[in-house]
Amino acid sequence: MLSKALGESVKTGVSLRSIERNQDKWVINWNDHEYSYDQVILTTPAHSLSKLPLERSLHSALEFLRAIDYPPVSVLNLAFKRSQVSHPLDGFGLLIPECEKRSVLGVLFPSSIFQHRTPEGDVLLTIFVGGNRQPELATPDTEELLRHVLPEIREILGIKDSPCFIHHKYWEKSIPQYNLGYGQFLKQIKDVEKKFYGLQIMGNYKDGISLSNCIEQAIRS
């Protein structure tokens, strides 16, 4: 939808063969044709950069970004009949501190925050599991996840019986962790951008993770 709205300036589904610096231009071969550009902006996640057909020197220069930690997360959306849930769900959601030794990291109440998230009379919960704290609990196996999650949220939110809707998305590499020493990655990114004139590296591993951080970053550049 977004690409349609942007029209001819966006090309999707192309086959990228090479990205190379040639004198003062970037030469990109896509769909078996070569095109010259003044600037190249790389916006894939850090862990995907190595999959791009970058010239060897740039590929090596970006190798350090593979060390950024992207722990896995399972995001489970469960809907229940309102009458099944005794908690009023009168808030944004909940975060569970580590000391409580639970499997669930946190729960959002999307049907309390936004309209039309569920049919009338239902409620929706978005449950996060895994992350940096318990990466081993994030799993692509929905049944296994439900075995961990359902007893906990039943207890915390006073829920009876089974959900009427289940949607699970497993993020094998979710979001970059700005761990201690992260400044070194940022410094190295700047050095690479200086060395490869006309190159910009952007994404949630640079100036903040939230969608609004990413939009601000794009507007600033």
Ligand X SMILES: Cc1cc2nc3c(=O)[nH]c(=O)nc-3n(C[C@H](O)[C@H](O)[C@H](O)COP(=O)(O)OP(=O)(O)OC[C@H]3O[C@@H](n4cnc5c(N)ncnc54)[C@H](O)[C@@H]3O)c2cc1C
Selected binder of ligand X within 39, 86, 210, 221 (CB under 6 A): 210
- 92 in Cβ contact with 180 (< 8 Å): no
Distances (CA, A) of 50 to 17, 61, 162: 14, 10, 43
CB of 30 to ligand X, least distance (A): 11
Q: Is 188 in the site for ligand X (CB under 6 A)?
A: no
- 62 in Cβ contact with 54 (< 8 Å): yes
Q: Is 30 in the site for ligand X (CB under 6 A)?
A: no
Q: Is 53 in the site for ligand X (CB under 6 A)?
A: no
Q: Is 86 in the site for ligand X (CB under 6 A)?
A: no
Cα distance between residue 72 and residue 63, in whole Å: 21
- 78 in Cβ contact with 154 (< 8 Å): no
Q: What binding mask, one character per residue, do residues 64-83 give for ligand X by CB under 6 A, x or -?
A: ---------x-x--------
Cα distance between residue 36 and residue 38, in whole Å: 7
Q: Is 174 in the site for ligand X (CB under 6 A)?
A: yes
At residue 184, the 3 state secondary structure works out as helix
Q: Taken in order 72, 206, 193, 219, is the CA torsion positive or negative?
A: positive
Selected binder of ligand X within 29, 48, 112, 132 (CB under 6 A): 48
CB of 23 to ligand X, least distance (A): 26
Cα distance between residue 28 and residue 24, in whole Å: 13
Q: Is 153 in the site for ligand X (CB under 6 A)?
A: no
CB of 7 to ligand X, least distance (A): 18
Q: Is 50 in the site for ligand X (CB under 6 A)?
A: no
Point out which residues bind ligand X (CB under 6 A).
43-45, 48, 51-52, 73, 75, 171, 174-175, 203-204, 209-212, 214
